[in-house]
């Protein structure tokens, strides 16, 4: 009798489980979906990552993390409005997180008409948590808007934060404002630590070049012989000098 009752009880449980949606038993949490999305993100499977982040948001619209990560993918795909909406929601939910301001600043900096908004977001990110990444990003926008001395301040701060690329960026700014000796000083300091730093070598070459000291300049251009750069302007200037052409490409290449 007891066995029959136990069997009936088990059948009732089994029947209830059959009625309950199978997906609900194994439903993922928003946190699990976030981690799954990050996994796809790292494998460059962005469509699956988007799907995970969107499901996480659907489950918990107040979960900030997926908005920021989904915004990154939208930005990468060129979906400005969607990326902007996600970054702005992340900032609304996490107003003291510098990452949201930095990422939205990156989005704005991709469009010249939004440079001022990019600077504003980068500045807020720096207030919340100073970093070389944001200093570099804001400094580059300052260069694009010809605010060279503000750019210098950001790149100087990079060196204070032990990012030695700050010296390279400072040399770029000095070159753009025509202070070639300061550009040389910055690059020589960088070469003391990295003897074959390509941009330092190039900037030394063009600094001496623009000072009219061709014998000094050619030594640095020759050290770049055989190297490749993504920027065609750099390659063109180096190749011209190696071929003895000192009349073309007279401007500072940035």
What one-character DSSP code corresponds to residue 112? Answer: G
State how many domains the chain has: 1
Whether 225 maps to a domain, the answer reads yes
Across the range 49-53, mean pLDDT stands at 97
Query: pLDDT for 68-89, tens place per residue?
Result: 999 999 999 999 999 999 999 9
Q: Is the pTM of this model over 0.75?
A: yes
Q: Which residue, among 138, 202, 145, 136, has the nearest Cα to 169 in the 3D structure?
A: 136
pLDDT tens-digit map of 179-223: 999 999 999 999 988 889 999 999 999 999 999 999 999 999 999
In a domain? residue 148? no
We report the CATH number of the domain holding residue 220 as 1.25.40.10
Check pLDDT > 70 for residue 9. no
CA–CA gap between residue 93 and residue 101 (Å, rounded): 12
- 9 belongs to a structural domain: no
Residue 6 lies in a domain: no
- CA 141 – CA 119 distance, rounded (Å): 7
pLDDT for 245 beyond 50: yes
Query: Six-digit token pair at 106?
Result: 């990156």
Which two structure tokens, joined as six digits, stand for 98? 């510098």
Q: What is the DSSP letter of 154?
A: H
Domain span holding position 193: 164-254
Is residue 215 domain-resident? Answer: yes
Alpha carbons 146 and 150: distance in angstroms, whole number: 9
Q: For residue 236, what pLDDT is reported?
A: 95
Q: What is the model's pLDDT at position 24?
A: 39
Domain contains 2:
no
Higher pLDDT, 172 or 26: 172
C-alpha dist (Å) from residue 141 to 128, 146, 207: 19, 8, 23
Domain assignment of residue 51, yes or no? no
Find the mean pLDDT for residues 99-110. Answer: 98
- Give me the pLDDT at residue 16, please: 36
Is residue 38 domain-resident? no
């Amino acid at each position: 009798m007891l066995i029959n009752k136990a069997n009936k009880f088990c059948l009732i449980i089994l029947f209830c489980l059959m009625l309950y949606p199978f997906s609900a038993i194994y439903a993922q949490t928003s946190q699990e979906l976030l981690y799954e999305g990050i996994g796809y993100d790292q494998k460059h499977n962005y469509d699956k990552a988007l799907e995970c982040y969107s499901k996480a948001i659907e489950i918990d619209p107040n979960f900030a993390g997926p908005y920021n990560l989904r915004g990154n993918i939208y930005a990468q795909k060129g979906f400005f409005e969607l990326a902007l909406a996600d970054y702005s929601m992340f900032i609304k939910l996490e107003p003291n997180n510098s990452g949201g301001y930095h990422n939205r600043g990156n989005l704005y900096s991709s469009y010249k008409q939004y440079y001022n908004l990019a600077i504003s977001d980068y500045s807020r990110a720096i207030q919340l948590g100073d970093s070389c990444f944001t200093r570099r990003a804001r400094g580059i926008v300052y260069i694009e808007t010809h605010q060279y001395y503000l750019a210098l301040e950001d790149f100087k701060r990079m060196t204070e934060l032990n990012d030695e690329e700050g010296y390279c960026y400072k040399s770029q700014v000095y070159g753009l404002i025509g202070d070639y000796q300061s550009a040389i000083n910055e690059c020589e300091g960088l070469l003391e630590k990295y003897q074959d730093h390509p941009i330092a070598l190039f900037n030394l070459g063009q600094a001496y070049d623009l000072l009219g000291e061709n014998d000094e300049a050619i030594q640095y251009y020759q050290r770049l012989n055989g190297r490749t750069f993504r920027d065609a302007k750099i390659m063109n200037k180096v190749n011209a000098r190696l071929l003895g052409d000192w009349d073309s490409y007279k401007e500072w290449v940035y």
